[in-house]
Amino acid sequence: MEKNNKSIKKKILIIDNGGTVSMKRSGGVLKPVDGKEDIRRLIYQITRPVELYYTRADQIDSANSYPPLMKKIFDTIVENYSEYDGFIVLSGTDTLAYLSSFLSFWLFEIHKPVVITGSQKPLNELGSDAPGNIYYSIMFACEDIPEVTVFFGKHLYRGNRATKLDSQGFDAFDSPNFLPLGHVDALHHRIHSPLESLLRPAQKETFQYAWSDRVAIVALYPGLKPDILEWMLSSDYRGIIMEAYGMGNMPFEGPFSLEKTTKKLVDSGVVACVKSSCLKGGVHVEYETAKRFADVGAIYLRDITREAAYAKLSWLTGKTDDIERIRSEMFRSMCGEMLPVEQEDKWKICH
């Protein structure tokens, strides 16, 4: 029988990593607890023709998460990859977009759907958004969407394009520079893009966990001292993401000029990248305040998110010491995390 036959039930593994969805109130605050039974009761009520399985990776508040802990989710997916048709990850929302970005690189060329979701209100509380998020994540995990995605509220987003915009609202996530992959309403769950516009793996899966703690994000503000970048150089940082003004502009005049320090970083083998501090749009070498930094070797990352930029650079620097390879890979779009360079002129016109 064909695997894609609609009469065949898909096998979906739900990986519980904690977060608000399974928290309970104690002493007036929300704390992680064992929410396994609440989650299992919910998923076993689902009558959709799908086989659902549950496992736990961790039980934490996502604010306490970091890449080696996120690796537990990666390991769970890899260990069970041949047994299931799709995967759902339940996560806290604070670092969910970092998790989805990391997994998009660690699970490079994945051939199966991974949907990450969570909730703003615990499953056991009246009015929780958890049941809907979990239910619709299951529906999308049964589709032919071979990439890491985020479902939250009403929309399905590419995992390395999503970012958290609202600390309280049920529509907490958005994808400012890339249209949602799908949405739900009272009658349907729809995939927006034709399947050919989704990520189609070009080759066999090349899963690889890697991470370097020698990568930092520096947000620009008027009066930022170059000493901060100098300190990173003396502390053996290998990569820096600078969140610049507007389209990638940074100061090159006056006491707070960053031009000489940026050149020093690049000449010393540090991979210096530039992204916009704006949520929408991206960087483009349009002004002298950008061109000077591009000329000394800073890499302009077009319309990438903060989370994807950090995940990508720390993944690459964890994989290899080859600076030129890292620079080359940072410049190109590897798995849909930013606009391909050949489309940059089109992006400039649209914005």
DSSP letters spanning 129-152:
SHHHHHHHHHHHHTSS--SEEEEE
Under DSSP, is residue 175 helix (H, G, I), strand (E, B) or coil?
coil
Lay out the sheet containing 50-60: strands in order across: 50-60, 10-18, 86-90, 114-117, 148-152, 155-158, 182-184, 189-191
Candidate list 20, 93, 95, 163, residue with the active-site label: 20
Q: pLDDT per position in the chain (351 positions), as tens?
A: 233 344 578 999 999 999 999 999 999 999 998 888 888 888 778 777 899 999 999 999 999 999 999 999 999 999 999 999 999 999 999 999 999 999 999 999 999 999 999 999 999 999 999 999 999 999 999 999 999 999 999 999 999 999 999 999 999 999 999 999 999 988 778 888 655 456 667 778 899 999 999 999 999 999 999 999 999 999 999 999 999 999 999 999 999 999 999 999 999 999 999 999 999 999 999 999 999 999 999 999 999 999 999 999 999 999 999 999 999 999 999 999 999 987 766 555 444
Using alpha carbons only, how large is the chain's radius of gyration in Å?
Answer: 21
**Which domains are delineated in the chain?**
10-197 (3.40.50.1170), 215-350 (3.40.50.40)
Annotated catalytic, 20?
yes
